[in-house]
Amino acid sequence: MNEKSSFTIHDLPKPERPRERLRNFGPEALSAQELLTLVIGRGIPGKSVINIAQELLSRFGNIKAISEATIEELSQIKGIGFAKAAQIKACFELGKRQDLEPELKDFDIKNPQSVVKAIQSSIKDKAKEHFKLILLNTRNKIIGISTVSIGTLNSNLVHPREVFKDAISHSAASVVFAHNHPSGDPEPSEDDLTITKRLIEAGKILGIEVTDHIIITKNGFFSFKEKGLI
């Protein structure tokens, strides 16, 4: 394939190019391929940036797998050298660090209402379930908030290994789980109950106390601790 036969950004009508679409509609409107195209920036002779982004998705399968790939693995894609692989890794790391920053610095978690106040605005209007991990120090102050999964909760999405990874790396003394119910019904599902029990047991093994699990909706919340489920 030569440079002329490789479909490029400039072959698209200007309003359909990723940069213009982001400006006009916001980043949420862009596909994963379009976002990767913007991160990578440009292609190489015979291979456009669009082709490189598509090959990334084809090779690794999804965005999560790309985020977990090493510099060496990313560099195996023709058109992604060390510099572009570093750009990709840096973007994912920035997103991770932003999500770990507490929304309210040194915020005290004294009761379920405190948790709701800290994170309700960030998840109550989400169309999908967002499972949050709130990291606490020995004085019950928030030291970090991370998103463990997005989507209907099940044991595949919420695995103890992934849930407690950030808690261990940040030396959290205890954790609170929180997720939203887009339906507006705060009552826990069978999966919610099963997953919570599993995570509590995992926390005991690791020496990290699970102090509560809170389901948040637009108009209320459900606290596992208040209901005697923890």
Q: Reply yes or no on whether the pLDDT at 18 is more than 70.
A: yes
Annotation: CATH topology of 3-99: DNA polymerase; domain 1 (1.10.150)
Q: Reply yes or no on whether the pLDDT at 159 is more than 50.
A: yes
Please give the Cα distance from 27 to 100 (Å, whole number).
Answer: 21
* Beta-ladder partners of 179: 131, 215
Q: How many helices (H) and strands (E) are present in the chain, helices listed first?
A: 9, 5
User: Is 0.85 surpassed by the pTM of this model?
Assistant: no
Query: What are the residue ranges spanned by the domains of the chain?
Result: 3-99, 112-223
For residue 48, the number of C-alpha atoms closer than 13 Å in the C-beta half-sphere is: 17
Please give the Cα distance from 83 to 40 (Å, whole number).
Answer: 9
Q: Reply yes or no on whether the pLDDT at 208 is more than 90.
A: yes
Q: Out of 4-13, 28-37, 138-147, give the one with best mean pLDDT.
A: 28-37
**2: CB partners within 8 A, 6+ apart:** 45, 46
Please give the Cα distance from 126 to 19 (Å, whole number).
Answer: 25
How far out from the chain centre does Cα 150 lie? 7
Annotation: CATH topology of 112-223: Cytidine Deaminase; domain 2 (3.40.140)
